[in-house]
Chain A
């Protein structure tokens, strides 16, 4: 235990995070577990140790292993790093997607290798003051896309420099900073503002981490590998404030445009610590899309997620989403469902999500649609 406390004390100030819901463990900021302060991408040494000794179960480890030994094995390929300047990681996610389960007419099953990344991080200085991050890997070719479209892409590559422990500057290809970065990239809160799995942009981001406030501002010029007319250029602002010591409330704005479309998105969100790993996440937002040649359409969404942690390594999820694509129409969709997230040991996650979708329209009735995802996540 002394080793863990020593390691934690050597890292940044107070808190850790891997998924947004880990605020339920009392951790508020993404920075301490991720190199990217907006979360996502490779975990730093601290995040790996926390993943091993707090988040994941220990049932698959030999019972004789102490927490210190588990922490020592948290590095790449179960090794404790022998140097400070280079870290490597491998990350895989795949899932079985079943639509209309149980239907003799319309059940479909599909295995999708969603992500298979190799990551390398060069870091120098006290508390990893200067970092270079590269994250390259497999990205499935969309169904029906041309065969000559590559199945490999850079998910992120950027430089980061902490001017002070509170202030950092990052530049390169990164996720757009907006809202709660929930892991479900099909969530309406990610698809409507266009901050989904492959929506990274080249730009510059400033990050401030104060005692009560955490803020990010980002200017971006789109993904430079895209044709210039499609690149979304713009800026976003993100701010969260700690309330009652362990909860967060926040807001985001993002304005962007390319040759065909202007977009404005704004959201308010909260992450509440319900203690002992339990958490509640909520986000409400709207996106205004204005094509250059036609009128604007405003979409509205909300997201509510609950997490309960009955035992170490196991989380029960509840997910409720609302999506109204066009506020000028009355039609809207609700999607909800339970889920289970299990970390039997560090490096291994199994997750089941069930989704029920129902569209509400004044003139028609429609049958519900059902699907479930059984996801495997392995990181080395």
Chain B
């Protein structure tokens, strides 16, 4: 049986995404690029959103390291907070489905304003 053990490690997974795939982004050194407003907003996203939005079961944001990534995914519209899903889903801001960050309650005003300022000033 011992002779067969090495065979196990030949059959490694192809897709390797799991609950730890975003640990480097969340807890490792930052390699962000983008506007000053984005770099101000990103720690809030890490603290308030990434706990859920990193796993493979719930819209992972781990790869969105610049503003264009966020726009490409339809989460933000440059300079248009009213049509930016990322903003309208925040508790007490959007419509009936504004329940984010789920499980953490509403954002403090200062953090909320930082996110608004980012989306309002995203360079097109």
Q: Chain B nearest CB: distance from A286 CB in Å?
A: 15
Nearest neighbor of A325 in chain B, beta-carbon distance: B103
Instruction: Give the interface size class of chain B.
Output: 35 or more
A142 sits at the interface (CB 8 A): yes
Contacts A173-B8, A230-B24 given; does A366 touch B97 at CB 8 Å: no
Contact between A359 and B104 (Cβ–Cβ < 8 Å)?
Answer: yes
Interface bits B33-45 vs A (CB < 8 Å: 1, else 0): 0000000000000
Select one of B8, B15, B27, B58 contacting A291, CB under 8 A. Answer: B27
Contact between B57 and A191 (Cβ–Cβ < 8 Å)?
Answer: yes
Compute how far the CA of A363 lies from the CA of B109 in the bound complex, rounded to whole angstroms.
12
Contact between B104 and A225 (Cβ–Cβ < 8 Å)?
Answer: no
Select one of A105, A139, A202, A367 contacting B15, CB under 8 A. Answer: A139
Q: For A130, what are the chain B residues with a Cβ–Cβ distance below 8 Å?
A: 1
Contact between B96 and A105 (Cβ–Cβ < 8 Å)?
Answer: yes
Q: For B73, what are the chain A residues with a Cβ–Cβ distance below 8 Å?
A: 144
A232 sits at the interface (CB 8 A): yes
B31 sits at the interface (CB 8 A): no
B21 sits at the interface (CB 8 A): yes
A152 sits at the interface (CB 8 A): yes
Contact between B1 and A333 (Cβ–Cβ < 8 Å)?
Answer: no
Q: For A294, what are the chain B residues with a Cβ–Cβ distance below 8 Å?
A: 27
Which of A80-88, A192-200, A244-252, A340-348 is the contact stretch? A192-200
Instruction: Give the interface size class of chain A.
Output: 35 or more
Contacts A331-B103, A364-B106 given; does A230 touch B97 at CB 8 Å: no
Contact between A100 and B96 (Cβ–Cβ < 8 Å)?
Answer: yes
B110 sits at the interface (CB 8 A): no
Q: Chain B nearest CB: distance from A138 CB in Å?
A: 9
Compute how far the CA of A360 lies from the CA of B28 in the bound complex, rounded to whole angstroms.
31
Q: Chain A nearest CB: distance from B71 CB in Å?
A: 12
Q: For A331, what are the chain B residues with a Cβ–Cβ distance below 8 Å?
A: 103-105
Q: For A151, what are the chain B residues with a Cβ–Cβ distance below 8 Å?
A: 15
Q: For A103, what are the chain B residues with a Cβ–Cβ distance below 8 Å?
A: 96-97
Contact between A202 and B99 (Cβ–Cβ < 8 Å)?
Answer: no
Select one of B28, B60, B99 contacting A366, CB under 8 A. Answer: B99
Which of A23-31, A157-165, A309-317 is the contact stretch? A157-165
Q: Chain B nearest CB: distance from A355 CB in Å?
A: 12
Question: Which residues in window 363-380 of A have CB below 8 A to B?
Answer: 363-364, 366-369
Contacts A144-B61, A226-B16 given; does A172 touch B103 at CB 8 Å: no
Nearest neighbor of A134 in chain B, beta-carbon distance: B11
Q: For A142, what are the chain B residues with a Cβ–Cβ distance below 8 Å?
A: 17, 56-57, 59-60
Q: For B55, what are the chain A residues with a Cβ–Cβ distance below 8 Å?
A: 191, 196
Contact between B20 and A226 (Cβ–Cβ < 8 Å)?
Answer: yes
Contact between B19 and A225 (Cβ–Cβ < 8 Å)?
Answer: no
Contact between B104 and A145 (Cβ–Cβ < 8 Å)?
Answer: no
Select one of B18, B61, B98 contacting A198, CB under 8 A. Answer: B18
Q: Chain A nearest CB: distance from B49 CB in Å?
A: 11
A327 sits at the interface (CB 8 A): no
Q: For A361, what are the chain B residues with a Cβ–Cβ distance below 8 Å?
A: 104-106
Select one of B8, B27, B57 contacting A293, CB under 8 A. Answer: B27
Contact between B60 and A291 (Cβ–Cβ < 8 Å)?
Answer: no
Compute how far the CA of A345 lies from the CA of B27 in the bound complex, rounded to whole angstroms.
48
Select one of B1, B14, B20 contacting A261, CB under 8 A. Answer: B20
Nearest neighbor of A323 in chain B, beta-carbon distance: B103
Q: For B83, what are the chain A residues with a Cβ–Cβ distance below 8 Å?
A: none
A292 sits at the interface (CB 8 A): yes
Q: Chain B nearest CB: distance from A14 CB in Å?
A: 27
Contacts A142-B60, A226-B21 given; does A154 touch B102 at CB 8 Å: no
10 nearest CB pairs, A to B: A361-B105, A364-B106, A331-B105, A106-B97, A260-B27, A333-B103, A225-B13, A153-B15, A194-B19, A291-B27
Q: Hey, which bits of chain B sit against chain A, CB under 8 A?
A: 1, 4-5, 8-9, 11-21, 23-24, 26-28, 51, 55-61, 63-64, 73, 91-92, 95-99, 102-106
- Given A154-B11, A226-B16, A325-B103, 18 additional A-B pairs, CB 8 A: A142-B57, A144-B59, A152-B15, A173-B13, A222-B20, A226-B21, A258-B23, A260-B27, A291-B27, A325-B51, A331-B104, A332-B103, A333-B102, A359-B104, A363-B105, A364-B105, A364-B106, A367-B99
